[in-house]
Structure 1
């Protein structure tokens, strides 16, 4: 009977775990809906802003990006690594950290610093990397203004020559079950290339103020939007990964509980059968 008690305790433990994972799945699903709506709503704006900036820059002669387009020999690199503040989200953080380590290997021999957004990435990298700042508090109140302040700091560091290249490492949100790790160049700006639509359109527009002034004013906004989109992508990906992980955990707990119930019933049946045989054996002994 002690064996039966042990199995009952395991069934109760697994059932409790299943309730927790199921609740976490539902919470993540609700948060994912809001995060998904946010990133879906801002993507058209971000893409159109980038397209507008590319098209305007491509029509100008010479250097149009100012200090942010300066191509220098890469000796000092800054990696902006975006992870989550909490765990239980499958391989979400591990994939970003793996990509970060690949970049560290790629830039071996150069000075590489790291700026972390997310406690998990900061905890994992603080012993092996030179972390200049941890901006995990962004997730406490994720707004464009808060992220724009971080982006402005990155722009200032690049313009001052502190870094020759800045890259973003984050999870791009595709859907609830799929997140794609991205290593995306933030600075310097890539050379401008006009779209085919603009190349085929010979319309001559009059700009006020000048195209040069418009481009120089759009560049900081575009960079701030790029970082905000990356953080929003990561935020939605985190909840998608956690919902998927908790769904799998709930399914595994359900399967384990069913197996334990089957084992319990077999053990109980064997115990009852043994007791019946003992009773029958005792009765026969009395009759003899």
Structure 2
């Protein structure tokens, strides 16, 4: 059995760790509330914008397609791997890295695959393979629509200039604090909605549908990327809060076990001292 000093040191160490994880849990909970409110507020707008764009596109003639809907033979693929800058969030980052590796090795095997890393964890994971063409981890320092729009413009330019034939977003979609869903979402080319002759739109268009679609597409793409990063940002804090909650519970359990072990060891030590005293007294009497 370990001596009392070693057990006391372990109890102190575990208690300190428990205080840290508990504080991190509370910080993540506060950040999660703001991040959750942000993604919840923008989802209806983003979904409605996408629905409107797809509905409009489905009513246009085939020769009125956008340059962002150019369906090509896929040789060059750009994966946008969205992780966080920090760890201690359970499997949040590793799940995205695993999914990105799966896409490289299975779905896009034999293709020229490059990566745009959003988050230091993604950049660190793929930088050694020389696949990372850009690292935009600084976006989390000031996560605004305008800053994300610059990244979206970079992706649109990459596609229109034939540097990429297909662009795919890989990120965690926020469902609740304990659940994140891994998303593999095509960014470009735009996925065309199947044309339906029965589509009826209760809108009066001014200017023409084609002009509206041409203006809506860049805005829709920027919104799509912003929503993905916002989803990932909320998922990160949810995952970290859950991980720190579990870590705090485990530390509490371990501390209680160590205290029990300490009390048993202390009791055994006192019992041995009493036995030694009694044995010494009997020896003197004899």
Q: Distance in 1 between matches of 2:139 and 2:58?
A: 34
How many residue pairs get aligned? The number is: 285
Q: Compute the RMSD of aligned alpha carbons.
A: 1.7
Judging changes above 3 Å, is the alpha-carbon distance between structure 1 residues 46 and 254 closer, same or farther for their aligned structure 2 residues? same
1:182 aligned residue: 183
Provide the secondary structure at the position in 2 that maps to 1:184: strand
Map 1:69-108 → 2, pairs under 5 A: 69-105=69-105, 106-108=107-109
Judging changes above 3 Å, is the alpha-carbon distance between structure 1 residues 57 and 152 closer, same or farther for their aligned structure 2 residues? same
Map 1:1-288 → 2, pairs under 5 A: 3-105=3-105, 106-193=107-194, 199=198, 201=200, 205-288=203-286
Q: Deviations over 1:208-231 (max 9, x none)?
A: 101110111000000000000000
Contact 1:168 1:183 in 2 (8 A): yes
Q: Deviations over 1:154-199 (max 9, x none)?
A: 101101111110000111111100011111100001112479xx94
Q: Normalising to structure 2: TM-score of the pair?
A: 0.96
Runs of 4+ residues over 2 Å off in structure 1: 192-195, 198-203
Q: Distance in 2 between matches of 1:164 and 1:48?
A: 27
Gaps of 5+ in 2: none
Provide the secondary structure at the position in 2 that maps to 1:237: helix
Q: Distance in 1 between matches of 2:201 and 2:137?
A: 48
Contact 1:65 1:219 in 2 (8 A): no
Q: Distance in 2 between matches of 1:82 and 1:64?
A: 33
Judging changes above 3 Å, is the alpha-carbon distance between structure 1 residues 2 and 67 closer, same or farther for their aligned structure 2 residues? closer
Gaps of 5+ in 1: none
Q: Distance in 1 between matches of 2:108 and 2:199?
A: 40
Contact 2:59 2:199 in 1 (8 A): no
Which region of structure 1 is more displaced relative to structure 2, 232-241 or 102-111?
102-111
Q: Distance in 2 between matches of 1:170 and 1:72?
A: 24
Judging changes above 3 Å, is the alpha-carbon distance between structure 1 residues 118 and 200 closer, same or farther for their aligned structure 2 residues? closer
Judging changes above 3 Å, is the alpha-carbon distance between structure 1 residues 99 and 247 closer, same or farther for their aligned structure 2 residues? same
